[in-house]
Amino acid sequence: MQQELMWGLPVVLYLFLAGVGAGALTVSASIFLRGGDVARGLHVDTARYGAFLAPVPIMIGCGLLVFELGSFETGHWFKWLNLYKVINLSPMSIGTWLLSVTVVVSVVYAYTFLRDAPGLPNEMRYPLRRKLSWLAVPLGIATAVYTGILLGAMPSRPFWNSPIVALLFLVSALSTGIAGTLLIRALFHASNPDPETGKNFSRSGYLLTAADVLLIGFELMIIFLFIMYAHLTIGSVKEAVSVILFGGDLAPLFWLGVVVIGLLIPALVESIYIVPKLLYHRDFSVPRGVEVVVPAVILVGGFMLRYVVVVAGQITGPVGI
């Protein structure tokens, strides 16, 4: 790899963190509405962890992007604010406003989950949380898709210039959002003596774990379609995808790090615990160590996916300029 990489770790982290936050926001709002949008719905405890997680990685990711785009010369520290001066249909302009709205909604949504939130009585909190949940789902999906569109909008980079990249980033964002939510709740959830609360917590874990297995399956299918689409074309696109095929510069990192460690192994481990519940209606129970390690591995795989995509797009282009 002799090409100079213009987009480095800050951009990779931004794409990863924005995806995790968007996925966590979508998952939290979805599972909250799925469990009944009431004060003590079926999945409200798990939705709370996702709500608290969501705004943090999005804001950190945006900060990293500002760091990458900004200039630290005197008089140019706030150059990134120029993005707010113009509203047009460019990916950067749309993304700036989309991320800003998503951050605001996610912060307010998380605030509704605070116990005894100052200035927000219960009679206002629950209707507001319900309305924000319906808004958070499309915003989270749009933000996750945008992280892929940001790359796909560059026709001079054949590895990125595919609508499949946006779809791949969307599914990966939802999967890592689930993983982040499961990891946070495994680390911070305290046992509750109330048996009904324990059952609801187990149901939430089963629902998210089963959904994650499905998402990983979709992600593997999308990766296959991405490779086949590129392989069946001619010219620069076919040449670009060779960097992740066997013998390519990024093949070990992609196949071992992303596919095997980040996708196949977590899906296999999760399936071991959901199949007895699915087929034999047994109680869903996962050891605390597995609850921590598997989501962490999925998050690492999600980061490695974006690293491979960002680097591959740069070392295989540009063309036509």
Sign of the four-CA dihedral 179, 99, 160, 81: negative
Condensed to tens digits (0 to 9), the pLDDT of residues 64-89 reads: 877 766 655 545 556 666 666 667 67
Query: Which class in CATH covers the domain with range 9-315?
Result: mainly alpha
> Taking 80 as the threshold, does the pLDDT of residue 195 lie above it?
no
Length of the chain: 321
Cα separation of 89 and 91, whole Å? 6
pLDDT-based confidence at residue 246 (cuts at 50, 70, 90): confident
Boundaries of every domain in the chain: 9-315
CA dihedral 143, 16, 285, 292 (to 10 degrees): -150
Nearest Cα residue to 266 out of 205, 141, 143, 176: 176
Residue 159's pLDDT band (boundaries 50, 70, 90)?
confident
Task: Give yes or no for residue 119 having a pLDDT over 70.
Answer: yes
pLDDT bin (cut points 50, 70, 90) of residue 313 is: confident
- 269 has a pLDDT exceeding 90: yes
Residue among 101, 163, 167, 175 at smallest CA distance from 138? 101
Q: Which of 43-57, 117-131, 190-204, 237-251 has the highest mean pLDDT?
A: 43-57
Given a contact cutoff of 8 angstroms between Cβ atoms, the answer to whether 22 and 141 are in contact is yes
CB 36 within 8 A of CB 47: no
Provide the pLDDT for residue 173: 97
Torsional class of 281: left (φ above 0), alpha (ψ -120 to 50), beta (otherwise): left
Phi-psi region of 225 (alpha: psi -120 to 50; beta: other; left: phi over 0): alpha
Task: Tell me the percentage of the chain whose pLDDT exceeds 90.
Answer: 48
